[in-house]
Structure 1
Amino acid sequence: MSKAAESASSTESFEDRAARALTEPMTVIDDRLDQSLRDEEFLVVTGSGTYVVDMVAEACDCPDALHRAPDGGCKHIQRVALARGERTIPGWVDRSAIDPELGQHLTASPRIATPDGRTEVLD
């Protein structure tokens, strides 16, 4: 289990795929950098491969999505949602465990929960 997942309080949980999406090295590229992508399509580049994520269809061409179709999507779909700020990072997550590439190549920014119940841009 990753450091981010281990940091959860007893009342909150962060599923393993989401923790991996947040902490594993991945680069998300949108249609601004890769003209072959359609609007709402993203390339997710990892050490084990490059996958196409379609956020409209909530689909990915990775083996996990194709063969297991996990609830909430594979870690690549979750990575795109986290990187774009569509899914808020829980405030209890250890910021030092978050992959520094999160959101680096996108116009939208990752968001993290604050103690007062709001969200802020992750810096």
Structure 2
Amino acid sequence: MSKADTGDTAPSQRFDERAAKALTESMSVLDARTFSDLRDEEFLVVTPTGTYTVDAIAETCTCPDALHRAPDEGCKHQLRVAMARGERPIPGWVDCSAIDDGLGQHLSADPRIVTADGWTEVLDVR
């Protein structure tokens, strides 16, 4: 377990519409273990409307939102990758029944959720 950052103004603590979509919309995140054409820290995000490549090191995505609007916190695909890998903990107040069942399904890392006491733990969505 690790102590979560509790600063309300920290970017990682904001939870906007993109973050909500990243958590609830149907998306599959694939890494080099499941899709061999990818490099380390590169992910394929498959959605019902398209397939996008997220580079976690360069902090880029090939989707139109990332390419044309470049949101400060990243597009929903970048956020999905970060949440699925446990790099961005899910706020504890989130309705867990609304989380997409596929979150973290194809990755070796686990999504994490902030507990009431400010720690994080593995989120069991399966």
TM-score higher than 0.5 here?
Answer: yes
Structure 1 runs, 4 residues or longer, greater than 3 Å off: none
Give the aligned length.
112
Q: Provide Cα deviations, 1:8-28, integer angstroms capped at 9, x if missing partner.
A: xxxx85211000000000000
Partner of 1:39: 40
Q: Tell whether 2:22 aligns with 1:21.
A: yes
Q: What's the secondary structure of 2:51's corresponding residue?
A: strand
1:51 match: secondary structure? strand
**Partner residue of 1:54?**
55
Give per-residue Cα distances to partners, 1:48-100, cap 9 Å, x unaligned.
10000000000000000000001100000000000000000000000000000
Is 1:93 aligned with 2:82?
A: no
- Equivalent-residue separation in structure 2 for 1:13 and 1:48 (angstroms): 26
Distance in 1 separating the partners of 2:14 and 2:123: 20
Tell me the distance in 1 between the aligned counterparts of 2:78 and 2:14.
Answer: 19
- The runs of 5 or more residues in structure 2 that have no matched partner are 1-12
Unpaired runs of at least 5, structure 1 = 1-11
3-state SS, counterpart of residue 109 of structure 2: coil
Q: What RMSD over aligned residues (CA atoms) do the two structures have, in Å?
A: 1.0
Identity across aligned pairs (percent)? 71
The alignment partner of 2:53 has SS state of strand
